[in-house]
Amino acid sequence: MSYNLLKGKRGIIFGALDPNSIAWKTAERVHEEGGTFVLTNAPIAMRMGQINELAEKTGSQIIPADATSIEDLENLVAQSMEILGGKLDFVLHSIGMSINVRKGKHYTDQNYEWTQKGTDVSAMSFHKVMQTLYKADAMNEWGSIVALTYMAAQRVFPDYNDMADNKAYLESIARSFGYFFGKDKKVRVNTISQSPTPTTAGQGVKGFDGFIAYADRMSPLGNATALDCANYTVTLFSDLTKRVTLQNLFNDGGFSNMGVSDSVMAEFVKE
């Protein structure tokens, strides 16, 4: 169902890889709600994914950009405004990567060069994106910037590894930069803390299947899907949430406020 919530709005969507990714679902929903956008991803991710298919489906252009490179980001922002015909109304940052996770390095045995690379891609890139938008005065007033995060930023999930630190840093950047973006340019900045979701990135985490089942049984409404997250993001891009900023918003079926649930307890009290 479409409500035309984003009619006439323009933006950039980072990180769409394949139909499982939250950014991909968000792009589809933004398109359905009347928004236009440029798609971007790192050149290497674009070779792995199916982003051309999404561009065709949504009538969007693709601009490859390494989100850790200021030069690439400046080019992306300038080109996007040219292609879309004006300043931007929304940006989705849906990027995260840990080489330590990918290569099976334990949290207590990190390769710090890998750690640094992961921090740059997963968190510092969000600051770089916002700083580039801010300096170029590329956002319309009442625009909206959203980054995707996870609750391991606040609580311990042992196998989430250094990505937990990256997400904590990401959330802090959203608040700190969000203050200046709000005060100086009336732009809002929020993060969405999503349920574990079977995306290509998510499935790289050790023990992911058990974890997703656990979260589902802990949450009174069950896990939020990638489409649920896309719908929530659309509301944050719309004018209906124009004074929601500096928030870390949980889209997790209630998981974040649970201590324990009946069905999880039942596993431990088997007669």
* Binding annotation for NAD(+): 15, 21-22, 95, 167
> Angle CA(246)–CA(229)–CA(85) in degrees, nearest 5?
75
**Can 150 be counted among the known catalytic residues?**
yes
Cβ atoms of 229 and 192 within 8 Å: the answer is: yes
Q: Which of 160, 169, 214, 232 is catalytic?
A: 160
**Can 112 be counted among the known catalytic residues?**
no
Tell me the HSE value of 144 on the side-chain side, using a 13 A CA sphere.
Answer: 24
Q: How many helices (H) and strands (E) does the chain have?
A: 11, 7
Cβ atoms of 30 and 237 within 8 Å: the answer is: yes
Q: Which of 134, 150, 179, 232 is catalytic?
A: 150
- Per DSSP, what are the bridge partners of residue 182? none
Q: Which two tokens stand for residue 89?
A: 């109304």
| Residues annotated within a binding site | 15, 21-22, 95, 167
Task: List Cα–Cα distances, 4 to 31, 78, 216, 249, in angstroms.
Answer: 9, 27, 32, 23
Active site residues: 150, 160
